[in-house]
């Protein structure tokens, strides 16, 4: 199930979370230089996912996602800053969020990658707090829906780094 506009979702547990704003999520995505991440962490062998959790070789793929990706979600720090400004964040009121340092077993460099993402976000004016905690504690708090403004990387056995989560649910920007 994909929720297109989280802000309009009735009964949202944390309606005031900045992550409920699509402009914020899009800004965070546009702040990350995926080509640089690919070269630095994956030796250029990675592939940018134009749709979280769905590869072009899989049923249901739409070519339009690839056509739209660069404009909608591609690396553009200036556009990211503008999106944050449009959402009400800037130098006088920076976006604050928590980014979890997680070690994914299939990619030993996960924490380095997470820290790099944090640096990309800081470069556009985001106040990023890196969160380190026991994995069992994180799972417990996720299950209890205790995180209101937290971002966590995730992975599967089929790919190394697939996206981020808010409220223990993978979300598209």
> In 3D, which of 124, 4, 3 has the Cα closest to residue 75?
124
Q: Which pair of tokens denotes residue 140? A: 């417990």
pLDDT tens readout for residues 43-87:
999 888 888 767 788 778 899 999 999 999 999 999 999 999 999
pLDDT tens readout for residues 79-134:
999 999 999 999 999 999 999 999 888 788 899 999 999 999 999 999 999 999 99
pLDDT of res. 5: 59
pLDDT of res. 163: 53
CA atoms 143, 116, 85, 73: torsion sign: negative
Q: Which pair of tokens denotes residue 37? A: 């991440």
Residue ranges of alpha helices (H) inside the chain are 22-30, 34-42, 63-73, 77-86, 110-123, 135-143
Confidence tier at 13 by pLDDT (50, 70, 90): confident
Residues 88, 70 contacting (CB under 8 angstroms):
no
Residues 107, 113 contacting (CB under 8 angstroms):
yes
pLDDT of res. 28: 97
Which residues are paired to 164 by β-bridges? 153
pLDDT tens readout for residues 137-164:
999 998 998 999 999 987 654 444 445 5
pLDDT of res. 160: 40
173: pLDDT strictly greater than 90: no
3: pLDDT strictly greater than 50: yes
167: pLDDT strictly greater than 70: no
């Amino acid at each position: 199930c994909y929720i297109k506009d989280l802000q309009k979702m009735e009964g949202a547990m944390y309606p005031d979370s900045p992550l409920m704003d699509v402009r914020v999520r899009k800004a965070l995505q546009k702040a990350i230089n995926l080509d640089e991440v690919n070269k630095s962490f994956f030796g250029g062998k990675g592939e940018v996912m134009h749709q979280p959790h769905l590869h072009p070789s899989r049923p249901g793929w739409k070519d339009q996602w690839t056509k739209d990706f660069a404009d909608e979600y591609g690396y553009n720090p200036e556009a990211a800053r503008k999106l944050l400004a449009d959402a009400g964040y800037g130098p006088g009121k920076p976006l604050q969020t928590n980014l979890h340092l997680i070690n994914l077993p299939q990619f030993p460099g996960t924490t380095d990658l997470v820290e790099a993402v944090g640096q990309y976000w800081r470069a556009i004016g985001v106040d990023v707090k890196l969160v380190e905690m026991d994995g069992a504690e994180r799972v417990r708090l996720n299950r209890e829906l205790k995180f209101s403004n937290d971002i966590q990387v995730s992975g599967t056995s089929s790919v190394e780094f697939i996206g981020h989560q808010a409220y223990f649910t993978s979300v598209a920007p």
